[in-house]
Structure formats: C-alpha cells, structure tokens
Amino acid sequence: MPGEFLDQAEIDRLLAGEAEAQKIIYTYTGERYPNPSEIAVEPFDFRTPVFLAEGELRRLRMVHQEYISTLSVRFSDLLRADVSLKMSKLTTLAFGKFVETMRTPSHITLFKVEPLPGIGVFELPPKLALSLANRMLGGKGVSSEGERYLTEIEIALLEDLIQIILTEWCLQWKEEKDLVARMLGYESNPRFLQVTSMDTVMLVLGIEGMAGDSVDEMHIAVPYTMIEPIIKKMQAGRNREIELSKKVQKQSWREPFNKISVNIIADWVVGKILVKDALQLQVGDIIELPKSMLEQTRIRVDANPRFRATVGVENDHVVAQITEKTVEEND
C-alpha cells in the first residue's frame, strides 16, 4: 500500500533524531549531565594550545592598534598619499596552519629582532606590493597586473617600506628599549619556509591595507617564544601598577584629622509601635523599658553605630561603660 515505505530523507531525519536523543554527556566528576541539549560541542586542537590569556591578548590588541595607527601615518608621509590601515585580526596560530593561509606567489620577508630569540615572517600580497611600488615611483598606486612574482627592482623599492614596518613594530614595545629589526632574506613560496617547526605557536597580526585601488591583508607572524619575555615584563609592570594603585587608594592617617570634632550619641532601640499610637504620644506619657535596656545602650560616633555600653550612675553623674565593639576598626 502507498505510504508504508519511508524515503531516504525520512530515514535520515529519524536517525538524526535518535542520535540526538541518545547523546550522553558526562561532567569532569563522571556524573551524567542532566540536559545534554544545552551543551554546545566545539572542536579543540591540543597540538596548538592557547598560550595567551584573554587579558594578555586584550593588552596586545591595544598595543598593536596603536602601532597600526602610527604605521598609517608613516605610510602616508612616505607615499605622499592617504593610506588606510586597520587591524583585521590578532590571534595565535600554529606555524603550519599559518603557512597554509599564505598565498603563492607572495612577497615574504624573514626578519630577526635583536636580542629576542626566533625568526619572524612578514607577508605582503603581490597586488598590494605592486600598488605600493607604483606609488613610490610617482604613480597613482594603481596596479593593472594580477598576482605575480616581484622583480628584483620592485623588491629593492619595497625594502625601505618593509624596514619601516619592522622598525615601528619594535618601537611599540615600551618594555624593551633596544629592539632592532634586521631583514634576513626573502621568499616567494611559503612551502619553502623552514624558519621553525610546523607546531610552533605564532602570534599572527593581520593588517588590512588600502593603497590606490588595491585592498588586501598583510601579515606579521612571530614565534610566541620571541614575545614571551616582553609579555612577562608587561605582566610584571601591570602587577606593579595594581600594587601601586592599592597603596594610593589606601587612606593614610594625617595629623590634621586629630583636630576634627565628631558627635558622640548614646541611645536605645526601644522597639516598634503602630503609627496611630505614635501619633497619640504626648508630653508626659511614660514608655516602659525593660531593665536590660540599660545594658544595650548603643554608642554612635557621628551617627555611625560603633559600640555597646551599659548605662548607670556614678558620683551623681550618668555614665556609659563600653562593653563591646559592634563594627570592625577599619570600617
């Protein structure tokens, strides 16, 4: 009879629903999670762990944002034209995966930052490189050619521009005063890069640049081991600032405070009465108080409760003897 057989789409839906119903998730203690549907499973590559905490990455973004702003001004001065630069990304990535994102051909500069360890990589896309070279030669920064390898003359023209990029990158680190960038060589095919192992974690900065009619993304990638000493100094400086701010915020006692007058008030919390009864109170009315109330006298210093005391008579004077403290001394 028609309708007794299921098509492949219906079978797939049934299997997917059954798999969803059978999804079981356990917590780190080994207990079954009550609502598996609330959990979103995301892949994690343990070969490329995240070395930077969110706070450190946030500070690095601020530092590199300032670097890009400075670099944009330097580019505009050198090329005598408006050059727009903005940060497109700042992340950690394994060197092997970074190589996979690079295009062929591409103008790749290898550089060393003294005295930091490791070798960095600067990638400049050919079309953007050709537009910059055209502008340096007095043109409008327009490149009619597609992706191609750069000539030796074009590479020589771009050396000054790349040196500015690397020098400004060194100057952004206020924790290190004597960083010097030195170019080691060039490459046009990322497959031939052998500057470090494929599993090395790199800090990758993406800068989107617009020159003439070309809009593309260049990259600066440095090994984590290169910037690790700087990050440690940044963290140490941040910790010192926090400690200093705590010391500044802590109120210190000053000699003029000793001459300030404050009110001392002794009173009791009698209890509660109805509003209509309170409205009927008159001069001469007597309010009964328990004898224990004398031992519950509240001593307030400038309206702030500080002590409890016992009230009595001594040498024809009403006195209050403090029996306990009601608040901490630093309150």
Q: What is the CA radius of gyration of the chain?
A: 37
Please report the pLDDT score of residue 319 as a whole number: 85
Q: Is 295 exposed, middle or buried, given 0-12, 13-18 or 19+ CB atoms closer than 10 A?
A: middle
**Among 197, 199, 217, 215, CA closest to 207:** 217
Q: How far is it, in rounded angstroms, from Cα 328 to Cα 331?
A: 5
**Ranges under pLDDT 70 in the chain:** 1-6, 10-23, 41-52, 141, 143-146, 175-176, 212-213, 246-252, 327-331
* pLDDT tens column, 114-169: 989 999 999 998 888 888 888 888 777 676 666 788 888 889 989 989 999 999 99
**CATH no., domain 54-244:** 3.40.1550.10
Please report the pLDDT score of residue 207 as a whole number: 93
Please report the pLDDT score of residue 95 as a whole number: 92
Please report the pLDDT score of residue 98 as a whole number: 92
Q: Where in the chain is the domain with CATH 3.40.1550.10?
A: 54-244
Please report the pLDDT score of residue 6 as a whole number: 64
264, amino acid identity: I
Please report the pLDDT score of residue 330 as a whole number: 46
Q: How far is it, in rounded angstroms, from Cα 218 to Cα 109?
A: 11
Q: How far is CA 243 from CA 98, 233, 236, 253, in A?
A: 39, 15, 11, 19
95 neighbors 198 (Cβ within 8 angstroms) = yes
